[in-house]
Amino acid sequence: MDAWALWLIAAGILLVLEMMTLTFYLLWLCIGTIAAAIIGWIAPDAYIAQVLVGCLVALVLTIFTKPISKRFRAAKGFKDTGTELIGRQGIVVEPIEEGQYGIVKIGGDAWSATSAQTLAKDERVRVLRRSSTIIEVERWEEFV
């Protein structure tokens, strides 16, 4: 199999992983592998050039888009949907063992969740924190 085809397979895998994490870091690596695939198509025997171009493209994209995304997040009117989750109520869909991952449904969305407590299926929980794709929850306790 040609090197450019392997680069495109790697790019496809990175793109799928990026769609699951939504961090943009894997997107830049994906674009870097596409650049390496182009070099592999043009110069099939230049393996070092393929790797260097791929790494350089990913590095440049990562460095130069960081300030842009930081300004975008600081812009007036930007709303991070993740911060709206904090304090909301959800239902445990897949049980959560202490220190392990489970699934919690909040509104119409399912989230990977962790907790310092063991939580059973169908138990109500409250969101404490959110990282990129995982939320931390605790048992919902109503005070009468």
Q: What is the pTM of this model?
A: 0.54
Residue 140 binned pLDDT confidence (cut-offs 50, 70, 90): confident
pLDDT of residue 131: 79
What does the pLDDT look like over 43-100, one tens digit per residue?
999 999 999 999 999 999 989 887 777 776 666 665 555 567 888 899 999 999 988 8
d(CA 11, CA 17): 10
Residue of 62, 8, 5, 56 whose CA lies nearest to 33: 8
Domains of the chain, by residue range, sit at: 3-74, 89-139
Instruction: In whole angstroms, give the CA distance from residue 76 to residue 5.
Output: 43
Contact criterion met (CB below 8 Å) for 102 and 95:
yes
The CATH T-level fold of domain 89-139 is OB fold (Dihydrolipoamide Acetyltransferase, E2P) (2.40.50)
